[in-house]
Amino acid sequence: MNSNERPFVPKGSHPIETGRYLIPTNEIVRMHNTVVQWIDNRSPGGMIYGRPRIGKSRAINYLMFDLPAEFGKNLPIFKMCCRQYNRPSESSFFEDLLNDVGHALPFSGKANLKRDRLFRFFLERAERAAQKRIIIFIDDAQRLHEIQYGWLMDIYNELDNAGVSMTVILVGQEELIHQRSSFIQSRKAQIIGRFMIHEYKFTGIKSVSDMTTCLSGYDHLSEYPEGSGWSFTRYFFPEAFEKGYRLENCAQDLFEVITTLRNEAGLKKSADIPMQYFTLAVEYALRRFGINGEDVGWLNRAHWKQAVINSGYIEAETYQDVV
C-alpha cells in the first residue's frame, strides 16, 4: 500500500468508530510494572482496584496482550468476568470459569466434574508452555462471595500440588478493599494470604503529562489498517498531520477545557479522568471534526469543549460527587 495515499476504510469499521483498540497510558505502564513484579515473584495473587469506568478492563486487555513479551509468548494467561449471583453455586462458578477460559465443554456435568475439568485444562496449558504457571485476571472481582474464594483456593491448591503456580489478579472497584478488611476481621487469613496480600490502586488521567501520553498513542502507536503507516490522527486529519500537527500537542488545551468545565459545574475534587470518557471525547473529536466530518483543518479549544460535553463526563462526575 502506498503510505502517502489515504487508505480506504469501510464506513463504521475504523477502530475510532468501533472503539476496539488499545492505547497505553502512564497508569497502564505503572500497573504493568507492578503486575510483572507479582508474576516474576510467583505471588499467588493481588488486587487492582479503582473507581468505575476508570479504564481497568481496558488495562487488563492491554496486559494480556503485552505480558507474553515479558514471560514468553506461550504464557497461559486468562480472564474471567464475574457474574452477579445472589446465591452463588459451585456448578455455576466453575461453569463460568470454563467458559471464560475457552474450554470446549464448559456446561456439561456436575460441579465436581467441572472443577476437575478446569484443573486438568490449566495443568495441560501450564505443561504445554513449559512455564509451570497460570495467570488469571478476575474482572469485577468485588462481586465474588467468600465461598467462591474457597472454590478458587481449591484450584490453586490442586495446581500447587502438581507443581504449577497460579497468580490470581483481582480487578474491581474499591469494595475490594472493604472485603479484605472484612476478611481480616473474621480471621480469613487463608483468603488474604492467597489473593489479597498485594494491592494497586488504579487511577485515571490526573495531569497534562498523563494526557500527553494518551494522546501520543493516537499519533504514533496506533495504525489502521495494519501495515498502512496511517495512525488514527493521520487518518482523520491527513493534511494537518502532514503539516506536523499532533494530538499530543493538544494536551494542555484539553486539560484546561476539562478543568474549566469542572469548575463551572462546581466539582471540587481533583480531576481523576476515567479513560472511558477521555476516549469518548477523543473519538468524537476525530469523527466529528476530521476529514470524514466537518473537516475543520485542526482542533481548537471550542472543538474540545464540545467533545468533552458530548462524552457525558461532566454529568457523570456531578453524579459521582453527589454520591
pLDDT digits (tens, 9 = 90+) for 207-258: 999 999 999 999 999 999 999 999 999 999 999 999 999 999 999 999 999 9
111 and 189 assigned to the same domain: yes
Task: Quote the DSSP letter at residue 237.
Answer: S
Residues in the chain: 323
Q: What is the band of 3 on the pLDDT scale with cuts at 50, 70, 90?
A: confident
pLDDT digits (tens, 9 = 90+) for 26-71: 999 999 999 999 999 989 999 999 988 888 998 999 999 999 988 9
Question: Residue 114 domain-assigned?
Answer: yes
Q: Which pLDDT belongs to residue 321?
A: 56
Q: Which domain-ending residue is among 150, 166, 201?
A: 201
In this structure, what C-alpha cell is assigned to residue 277? Answer: 470518557
Question: Residue 3 domain-assigned?
Answer: no
166 and 229 assigned to the same domain: no
Question: Residue 172 domain-assigned?
Answer: yes
How distant is the alpha carbon of residue 323 from its chain centre? 24
Q: Which pLDDT belongs to residue 1?
A: 47
pLDDT digits (tens, 9 = 90+) for 244-263: 999 999 999 999 999 999 99
Q: Which domain-ending residue is among 201, 236, 262?
A: 201
pLDDT digits (tens, 9 = 90+) for 286-318: 999 999 999 999 999 999 999 999 999 999 998
Which of 204, 207, 208 minimizes the C-alpha distance to 274? 204
147 and 281 assigned to the same domain: no
Q: How far is Cα 28 from Cα 274, in angstroms, rounded to an integer?
A: 13
Question: Residue 15 domain-assigned?
Answer: no
pLDDT over 50 at 323, yes or no: no
178 and 39 assigned to the same domain: yes
Q: Which long-range contacts (CB under 8 A, 24 or more apart) does 157-165 make?
A: 158/119, 159/119, 159/122, 159/123, 159/126, 159/134, 162/123, 163/132, 164/122, 164/123, 164/126, 164/127, 164/132, 164/133, 164/134, 165/42, 165/44, 165/132, 165/133, 165/134
Q: Which domain-ending residue is among 163, 179, 201?
A: 201
Q: How far is Cα 267 from Cα 27, in angstroms, rounded to an integer?
A: 23
Which of 118, 180, 190 minimizes the C-alpha distance to 144? 180
Q: Which pLDDT belongs to residue 52?
A: 87
The pTM score is 0.88
Identify the burial level of 255 via C-beta atoms within 10 angstroms of its C-beta, where 0-12 means exposed, 13-18 middle and 19 or more buried: buried
Q: What is the band of 276 on the pLDDT scale with cuts at 50, 70, 90?
A: very high
41 and 189 assigned to the same domain: yes
35 and 158 assigned to the same domain: yes
CATH code of 69's domain: 3.40.50.300
Q: Which pLDDT belongs to residue 4?
A: 85
Q: How far is Cα 263 from Cα 117, in angstroms, rounded to an integer?
A: 55
Averaged pLDDT, 140-162: 95
137 and 251 assigned to the same domain: no
- Amino acid identity for residue 85 in this structure: Y
CB 25 within 8 A of CB 273: no
Q: Say what percent of the chain tops pLDDT 90.
A: 86
Contacts of 313 (CB under 8 A, 6+ apart): 258, 261, 273, 274, 277, 278, 280, 281
Give the structural domain span for 129. 26-201
Question: Residue 12 domain-assigned?
Answer: no
154 and 262 assigned to the same domain: no
252 and 108 assigned to the same domain: no
Which of 18, 19, 27 minimizes the C-alpha distance to 60? 27
Q: Into how many domains does the chain fold?
A: 2
176 and 223 assigned to the same domain: no
CB 159 within 8 A of CB 97: no
Q: How far is Cα 245 from Cα 12, in angstroms, rounded to an integer?
A: 25
